[in-house]
Amino acid sequence: MSLLSTGVTALATAQMGLATTQHNISNANTPGYSRQSTMQATNIAMVTGAGSIGQGVHVSTIVRSYSAVLQNQVNSAQSKSSELDTYYGMISRIDNLLADSSSGISPVLAGFFQGVQDVATNPSLVSARQSMVSSAQALVTRFQTLENRLSQLHEETNTQIKDTVGLINNYSKQIANLNEKIVALSTTGHTPNDLLDQRDQMVLDLNKLVRVSTVQDSQGAYNVFAGNGQQLVVGNQVVALEARPSASDPERYVVAQQGSVAELPDSYLDGGSLGGLLSFRREALDQASNALGQMAASLALTVNAQQALGQDLLGNVSGDAAFVSEFFKISSPKAVENSLNTGTGGVASFEFQDPQVSSSGNYYTQITASDYEVRFSAGGNFEIKRVNDGAVVATGTEGTAVNFDGLTLDFSAGHAAGDTYVLQPTREIARNITVNQEISGDVRKIAAAAPIRTAAASGNVGTAVISTGEVVGAPYQIPSLNLEYVAGTNSLRGFAPGTTVNVGGTDYTIAAATDEIPYTGSAVITIDNFAFSISGTPAGGDRFVLEANTGGTADARNITKIGALQTAQTMNGDGTKGVSTFQVSYAQLVSDTGTKTKTALVNGQAQTTLLEQAITARDTVSGVNLDEEAVNLIKYQQAYQAAARVMNTASTLFDTLLSIGA
């Protein structure tokens, strides 16, 4: 019987080896499957007087070929690869949108200024003015189109974040269910290999969505943590997440733990497609929307400021009821109150500051492409922090307006400590910029001319000449002056009483019409925001006239200044001058986006290679080798056949013994 028993154990062991090999072959292409093998051990020997007699073999357990270190390397590489793939897939769409020569801003911006130049060449020609308005409408349409496309990306990002969070919750539930089954089956003393493989594959799939880490507890269950420590699974319990509109900005979806008021910062959920979406929105989409709006706002504000200093074809100037001071219309900066604020205060006003004039004479703005965070403390005090660099740009108290980065902000009273706001000054400007309907309806209201003109009297005998004059600021009062050169005192007189005259930086107050100011050749003379100069050698009694530019239909001095904004440094001002032109700023946006896109592509390709290497290293240990399994089939088949022969021999011996006894 011992021989028969030994044969039975050998047969059973070979059969289990064949079954395990068959299982390996069947799952050779199953994702996450780890090769399994039987662990054999000898049965307890029977002790006799002649010594111990072997009792055959048994399978002690079935183990899987698995390396936690290699699997973790695959998980990490997969998380980063998915993040970069998602980031690149989204940012490349912005890159294609902005850099396209036919759909970008550059060609229509050049077209607008060409329209301005056409009016400067023929200021009295209505068709030239109509052409300028048409090119301006093409420009604002392009701004609106680009902003609408970016807004669609914002909405799509929100949708993808919501869908991704749903998938994360789904995988978390499956892992929790597997944890429960694995713990229950582990009490038998054997590991449920297939369930362990399924759980590891779930963790890998979860890493495609967000970077996760696992900690195995004493019962063999995985505790799963996302990003920088957010719990997802604890044993067989799920800590579900949700995507919802942010309390600080309802148009922006954020991730939070279900049932919790607190929102998880983007930095808590890195890696995977969710991390890629959050990084894309923060680093590329927000910046592109803001930079586009910054450009639209700066263009509108500087062109409008110069428009306000001119005279239209009908003779209207600033102060006249029919005068149109704004060529472009834009919306006000956007301030979003946190829905969790407990105070009763609000935003009293939030506006763009008027552009400033640089030393070179052109207008510029100090608007940035950043959002801002406002946080209140006790007593209605607040500070404003620029998001892009974290700098505190202003502090103040509700009820008193503060100025910062080309903006003016004032809060009404009633805020509580901890109340917050998000400021998005330029986010929606490109969407809302339009050509003023008063101008598009009557192109004669384009202020191409300057409101004053100058002339030297025809009877002058000296060589002095007077410049054409220009408006250098607003508000202004058109002077009507008939200046006379006084040879004995080398001075000028004829200025209106009560005015202040600045000559080369020195102020002179005029008390009476007979008051004189020294004559300095070529010095800039400024009166009521009008500037001119007289140069050369005047003769006693020579006269110079400043007056309203009545009938100045052929004058193009103001439209020429608008045209000069094309190449002037009008943006990113530092308080004394602008730093970049419209075209340079847009080119910088295109370049920055292109650089980020290229970096994401290169890094993604490198990360894909690392992922493939990590998978290869893991599969070297855990993967099924069909050649090896074929060899195992033969080995276990032969063992099975040999065990069967042993049993056949035992049967023959038993039959022989029975026949002898008979």
Average pLDDT value over all residues in the chain: 92
Report CA-CA distances (Å) from 608 to 77, 82, 503, 617: 8, 9, 70, 14
| CA dist., res. 31 & res. 48, Å (int) | 51
* pLDDT over 80 (residue 13): yes
Collapse the DSSP code of 229 into the 3-class scheme (helix H, G, I; strand E, B; otherwise coil) and give the result. Answer: coil
Collapse the DSSP code of 36 into the 3-class scheme (helix H, G, I; strand E, B; otherwise coil) and give the result. Answer: strand
| Torsion, CA 282, CA 284, CA 285, CA 289, rounded to 10 | 110
User: How many of the other CB atoms lie within 10 Å of CB of 56?
Assistant: 21
Confidence of residue 649 (pLDDT cuts 50, 70, 90): confident
* pLDDT over 50 (residue 390): yes
| CA dist., res. 152 & res. 149, Å (int) | 5
**What pLDDT score was predicted for residue 401?**
96
**What pLDDT score was predicted for residue 662?**
56
Confidence of residue 296 (pLDDT cuts 50, 70, 90): very high
Confidence of residue 648 (pLDDT cuts 50, 70, 90): confident
Confidence of residue 310 (pLDDT cuts 50, 70, 90): very high
Confidence of residue 506 (pLDDT cuts 50, 70, 90): very high
Report CA-CA distances (Å) from 65 to 26, 37, 352: 16, 8, 66
| CA dist., res. 396 & res. 388, Å (int) | 21
| CA dist., res. 514 & res. 493, Å (int) | 6
Closest CA to 374 of 331, 413, 424, 429: 424
Closest CA to 86 of 165, 172, 157, 166: 157
The string of pLDDT tens digits covering residues 59-106 is 888 889 999 999 999 999 999 999 999 999 999 999 999 988 788 899
Confidence of residue 12 (pLDDT cuts 50, 70, 90): confident
- Structure-block tokens of residue 645: 């022969």
* pLDDT over 80 (residue 215): yes
CB-CB contact of 484 with 462 (8 Å): no
Report CA-CA distances (Å) from 198 to 22, 175, 504: 19, 9, 84
Collapse the DSSP code of 614 into the 3-class scheme (helix H, G, I; strand E, B; otherwise coil) and give the result. Answer: helix
Give the dihedral sign, CA 329/333/339/345.
negative
Half-sphere exposure of 51 (CA within 13 A, CB side): 2
Confidence of residue 393 (pLDDT cuts 50, 70, 90): very high
The string of pLDDT tens digits covering residues 520-551 is 999 999 998 899 999 999 999 999 999 999 99
In the chain, the largest separation of any two C-alpha atoms, in whole Å, equals: 164
Cα 612–Cα 198–Cα 67 angle in degrees, nearest 5? 55
| CA dist., res. 592 & res. 588, Å (int) | 6
Sketch the domain layout of the chain as residue ranges: 2-65+623-661, 452-548
**What pLDDT score was predicted for residue 387?**
95
Helical spans, DSSP H, in 33-188: 68-99, 106-121, 126-186
* pLDDT over 50 (residue 1): no
Report CA-CA distances (Å) from 285 to 97, 278, 338, 427, 557: 12, 10, 22, 11, 40
The string of pLDDT tens digits covering residues 180-195 is 999 998 887 778 999 9
* pLDDT over 80 (residue 269): yes
Mean pLDDT of 492-499: 93
* pLDDT over 50 (residue 314): yes
The whole-model pTM stands at 0.89
In terms of C-beta distances under 8 Å and separation of at least 24 residues, what long-range contacts does 106-113 make, across chains too? 106/583, 106/586, 106/587, 108/135, 108/138, 108/139, 108/142, 109/139, 109/299, 109/566, 109/582, 109/583, 109/586, 110/566, 110/583, 111/135, 111/138, 111/139, 112/136, 112/138, 112/139, 113/563, 113/565, 113/566
| CA dist., res. 385 & res. 379, Å (int) | 19
Sorted by sequence, the CB contacts under 8 Å of residue 652 that are 6+ apart come out as none
The string of pLDDT tens digits covering residues 395-430 is 999 999 999 999 999 999 999 999 999 999 999 999
| CA dist., res. 531 & res. 473, Å (int) | 10
Which amino acid is located at 589 in the chain? Answer: L
The string of pLDDT tens digits covering residues 336-380 is 999 999 999 999 999 999 999 988 889 999 999 999 999 999 999
- Structure-block tokens of residue 346: 């609000």
Which amino acid is located at 31 in the chain? Answer: P
Confidence of residue 11 (pLDDT cuts 50, 70, 90): confident
Confidence of residue 475 (pLDDT cuts 50, 70, 90): confident
CB-CB contact of 626 with 33 (8 Å): no
List beta partners, residue 328: 435
Q: Is 246 exposed, middle or buried (0-12, 13-18, 19+ CB in 10 A)?
A: middle
Place of tokens 């008021």: 261
Question: How far is residue 143 CA from its own chain's centroid?
Answer: 18
Mean pLDDT of 445-471: 94
CB-CB contact of 256 with 242 (8 Å): yes
| CA dist., res. 311 & res. 491, Å (int) | 31
Closest CA to 593 of 22, 9, 97: 97
| CA dist., res. 25 & res. 334, Å (int) | 63
Sorted by sequence, the CB contacts under 8 Å of residue 598 that are 6+ apart come out as none
Mean pLDDT of 473-483: 87
Collapse the DSSP code of 257 into the 3-class scheme (helix H, G, I; strand E, B; otherwise coil) and give the result. Answer: strand
Q: Please report, rounded to a whole number, the percentage of residues in the chain having pLDDT higher than 90.
A: 78
